[in-house]
Amino acid sequence: MAAITSQPLSQQEIDRLRPVYHTVLEKGQSFIRTVPGHVTLPLGFEKFKRPIKNWQVRNDDVYVLTFPRTGTTWTQELVWLLHNDCNFEEAKTVALDRRFPFLDWNVHLEFAVEDWSQFAINFSEQGDYLKTVEEMPSPRFIKSHFHFCLLPDDLLEKSKAVICLRNPKDTVVSFYHHQKLMKVCGYTGDFPTYFDLFMDNLIVYSSYFEYVKEAWQQRHHPNVCLLFFEDMKKDLASSVKKVARFFGKDVGDEMVEALVDHLSFKQMRNNPAVNKEERRKLGLLTGEGSLLRKGEIGGWKSYFTDEMNRRMDEAIEKHFKPIGLEFQYE
């Protein structure tokens, strides 16, 4: 197992981030870039990199692995329901954060929230969110946005993972709005600034392109089910059946129809258990917006200038054409 180290961002990079992350940087927090992977993450990752890399994977663990804003919540809800006899009542009343916790949370809470103990204690009497996830009874359902190189080496050998990918144009727009919504992110800039940071690998979890290429390499692994946000949007029933087959779950047409209804964007957005309303009550969200925003394909057209589109298309050509990966953009 290779040791994970990190490098500080350059002063020039910090100077670019300061105007739009000033509340975070003024607290003495910062960002680092990991080795391996060159992943941009909050400084808080330093404290948790070993516990996460050395995470004890169980054979019956189930993981949802995604880059942020690429269908994570959607995929989590589908996976959890398939493993819990389609218990729609519990899925509407018990927060998804409790049913399907976030392996990365400590990194972000350490980063930007002055007193995050309220959130941690709300999920754990010990006040240690990571330890609470570690001690959950089997089977555990866990999500993460970390690149594969930062996760346990044996994760895919011992457990099953569902990966969901989304086209980069809609991803950057959705991630921008998410960063504006989440107080733990502290982003205060506009979309053109955010787009530049995204393209220059200066947002949290970047590089998006490297993440997607790592995930694409795993598409034939027997313990991986690869989904696309755009496929789910256009034919959700087929994606439901694909995930059910992957886990060996027998679901008839009637249950598939019920799952499609529950997982529709309208139903998901009106479901406080998946829309993270508990986080709003704890003061982790701003007063504007919703975690589930629009769920569109092609929404990027309302944000991109011609120059942005040209720059993104060049990156798509560079990173995805050589590996035969194509996305739908409308």
Min mean pLDDT across 22-31, 194-203, 209-218 is at 22-31
Tokens at 278, concatenated = 């508990």
Contact 118, 282 (CB under 8 A): yes
DSSP assignment letter at 94: S
Indicate the pLDDT class of residue 110, thresholds 50, 70 and 90.
low
Per-residue pLDDT for 120 more than 60? no
Q: How many helices (H) and strands (E) does the chain have?
A: 19, 7
For 13, the token pair is 């990079």
pLDDT score at 21: 84
pLDDT at 239 over 70: yes
Question: Tens digits of per-residue pLDDT, 271-287?
Answer: 988 876 555 555 566 55
Closest by CA position to 259, among listed 245, 239, 274: 239
Taking 50 as the threshold, does the pLDDT of residue 113 lie above it?
Answer: no
Answer for the pair 10, 171: CB distance below 8 angstroms, yes or no: no
Mean pLDDT of 259-276: 88
CA gyration radius for the chain? 19
* Band of pLDDT at residue 259, cut at 50, 70 and 90: very high
Provide φ and ψ at 179, rounded to 5°.
-65, -30
184: helix, strand or coil: coil
pLDDT for res 125: 44
- For a pLDDT cut of 70, what percent of the chain falls above it? 87
- To 5 degrees, how large is the angle CA 32–CA 33–CA 38? 170
Residue 14: Cβ-neighbour burial (10 angstroms; 0-12, 13-18, 19+): middle
Nearest partner of 65 among 21, 100, 24, 109, judged by Cα: 100
Question: Residue range 293-314: average pLDDT?
Answer: 92
CA separation for the pair 294, 231 (Å, rounded): 16
Q: Give pLDDT tens digits for 164-177.
A: 999 999 999 999 98
Residue 168 to residues 203, 317, 329: CA-CA distances in angstroms?
Answer: 14, 12, 9
Please count the CA atoms within 13 angstroms of the CA of 23 that sit on its side-chain side.
Answer: 11
Helices 45-53 & 105-112 angle (0-180, nearest 10)? 170
Kindly state the tokens that stand for 101. 């916790």
Q: In what order do the strands lie in the sheet with 224-228?
A: 141-144, 62-66, 160-165, 224-228
Instruction: Identify the band that residue 89 occupies on the pLDDT scale cut at 50, 70 and 90.
Output: very high
Please provide the size of the chain in residues. 330
What is the predicted pLDDT for the residue at 184? 64
Bridge-based pairing state of the strands 224-228 and 160-165: parallel
Q: What is the DSSP string of 213-246?
A: HHHHHTTT-TTEEEEEHHHHHH-HHHHHHHHHHH
Section 97-117 average pLDDT = 74
- pLDDT the model gives residue 285: 60
Amino acid at 296: E
Q: Pick the closest to residue 172 from 304, 321, 319 (CA basis).
A: 304
Q: Please state, as a whole number, how many other Cβ atoms lie within 10 Å of the Cβ of residue 152.
A: 18
**pTM listed for this prediction:** 0.93
Share of the chain above pLDDT 90, in %: 71
Q: What is the CATH number of domain 57-323?
A: 3.40.50.300
State the chain's mean pLDDT as an integer. 89
Residue 56: which of 134, 163, 118 has the closest Cα? 134
Q: Is the pLDDT of residue 26 over 80?
A: no
The pLDDT confidence band at residue 121, using thresholds 50, 70 and 90, is very low
Reported confidence tier of residue 161, pLDDT bands at 50, 70, 90: very high
SS3 125: coil
**Predicted local distance difference test score (pLDDT) of residue 140:** 97
* Residue 242: φ, ψ to 5°: -65, -45
Question: Higher-confidence residue: 293 or 17?
Answer: 17
User: Given this model, what pLDDT does residue 269 score?
Assistant: 85
